[in-house]
Copies of this chain bind each other. A is one copy, B any other.
Amino acid sequence: MADVSEATGLEKGGVYNHFATKQELACEAFEYAARLVCDRIEKAMAAETDALGRLRAFLDVYRRSPERSPIAGGCPLMNTAIEADDTNPELRRRARAAIERWRGLIATTLEDGMRAGDIVPIDADAAASTMVATVEGGVMLAKVYGDPVHIRAAIDHLESYVNSLDARAAVRNA
């Protein structure tokens, strides 16, 4: 609470005028940070018309310079998932819901792509889990090493993976 007082310039009592409890403040802060991340990914993906373009747009969000990407400070979804894990079931539930919103968007994109004949038949759920896992692990490494080379390696790998899912390239190369 002392940090919040300092950052906002509000007295502790002033902060409590806006949030009934510390828990409410933590949850609202998480929802705000999660919305920033999810909105950014959704906006980038919505600008593309086909599934492969959307998946590449999602990867591009994490390829950009660390200062402008969700890497600065680490990923709030993962940070909250890990820090709230055994200690704060409500925050953990919210972290899981935000991750599922993101993972579900990727799975749906993969399914749309398969239906349109753009993407080879795969297990969309497993692929979405793998893509979110690889990005989150890459963000974690970039943060702990203080070096974006690790998230770039993860994104390069996922880009090759997305290319391997291209049904039309698979036909051309057959």
Contact = CB atoms under 8 A, between A and B. Distances in A.
Interface of A: 73-74, 78-79, 81-83, 85-86, 92, 95-96, 99-100, 103, 123, 125-127, 129-130, 132-138, 140-141, 143-145, 149-154, 156-157, 161
18 contacts: A74-B82, A74-B85, A82-B140, A82-B144, A99-B141, A99-B144, A125-B153, A126-B157, A127-B153, A129-B141, A129-B149, A129-B153, A130-B138, A130-B156, A133-B138, A133-B154, A136-B140, A140-B140
Given A82-B143, A99-B141, A123-B153, 5 more contacts: A125-B153, A130-B153, A134-B154, A135-B137, A157-B161
Contacts of A86: 73
Contacts of A130: 134, 138, 153-154, 156-157
A150 B78 CA distance: 14
This protein's copies in its complex: 2
Q: Is the interface of A mostly helix, strand, loop or mixed?
A: helix
A62 B157 CA distance: 20
Nearest to A84: B144
B129 A96 contact: no
**Most chain B beta carbons < 10 A, residue from A133, A141, A156, A157:** A133
A62 to B, nearest CB: 11
A78 B74 contact: no
Nearest to A135: B137
A73 to B, nearest CB: 8
